Amino acid sequence: MTTQEPSITLTGVSLELPVYGLSSRVLKKELVRFVTGGMFAKSKNSKTVSVRALNRVDLSISSGMRVGIIGHNGSGKSTLLKVISGIYHPTGGSIEVVGKVSSVLDLMCGIDPEISGRDNAISRGMLFGHSKKEMAQYMEELTEMTGLGDFMEMPVKTYSAGMMVRLAFAVSVMFKPEIFVIDEVFGAGDKDFAEKSRTKILSLIKQSKIFILASHNEELLKDHCTHLLWLDKGNIRFFGPCQEGLDFYHYN
């Protein structure tokens, strides 16, 4: 744990993601702007095209804040969460994150079907910054939460889709976070595990110093968030009190 209070500071953060196999010459400039709101950009030193997923974002989140992120599909919500979680690195500007981040984003990230559930849990936990020794200490608790039993010693390729989700989700929420980041997920797997995972998430929300949730579900945002961030085509349109933000979002 850090001695400083957790915080997140983005200064002029931009992120451009290349679109491979698409030449800018086949796109009419006017058509691109009409369809994407100007989010496509031509590389200065090549003929490739990139998507500007975030555009000069300035954002400061301090300890105690619960931030909901809203916006249409493709607005940059998931991208922003991945930048905060360290999965993506900005192509412009800077980001400073103080505190340990635990994220529930792409559940299947880092899952290798050829190795056992136990080894997958260890390697996935190490991706999140935990040591192999630390993961070994939590293996009994992890096995109990997933309900996988002896399947933890079997290759993941023998698992059903639901079993893989249980394994990946359990590793993602195993440790008490200082900064807890969720993209839409508020339960995973079959009915019984979904209730177990929901209970675990609610517990982690209470324990975390900073909580960030991207969702289209406004009731979830109102129930769990103090602040609302509205993203539109990679730009911040609003950041402030949650209800005020929802009112502004609907008005516009």
pLDDT at 90: 94
Q: Cα–Cα distance between 47 and 226 in angstroms, integer?
A: 44
Q: Cα–Cα distance between 242 and 68 in angstroms, integer?
A: 8
Distinct helix (H) and strand (E) counts, the chain: 9, 10
pLDDT at 34: 40
Token couple for 243: 């209800």
DSSP 5: P
Q: Cα–Cα distance between 121 and 117 in angstroms, integer?
A: 6
Indicate the pTM of the whole model.
Answer: 0.83
Q: Is 115 exposed, middle or buried (0-12, 13-18, 19+ CB in 10 A)?
A: middle
Q: What is the mean pLDDT, run by run of 10 residues, along the chain of 252 residues? A: 83 86 51 47 63 93 97 91 92 94 80 92 80 86 90 94 87 86 73 80 92 93 96 95 95 86
- Beta-carbon contacts of 236 under 8 Å, excluding residues fewer than 6 positions away, are 57, 58, 59, 229, 230
Question: Which residue type occupies 190?
Answer: D
Domains of the chain and CATH, by start? 7-100+214-251 (3.40.50.300)
CA distances from 176 to 15, 135, 172, 201 (A): 29, 13, 10, 10
pLDDT at 130: 79
Token couple for 158: 């023998």
Q: Contact 67/59 with Cβ under 8 angstroms?
A: no
- Beta-carbon contacts of 112 under 8 Å, excluding residues fewer than 6 positions away, are 119, 120, 123, 156
Query: What is the dihedral sign for C-alpha 127, 134, 136, 103?
Result: negative
Query: What is the dihedral sign for C-alpha 54, 165, 222, 204?
Result: negative
Q: Cα–Cα distance between 43 and 45 in angstroms, integer?
A: 6
pLDDT at 188: 62
pLDDT at 156: 94
- Beta-carbon contacts of 203 under 8 Å, excluding residues fewer than 6 positions away, are none
pLDDT at 36: 45
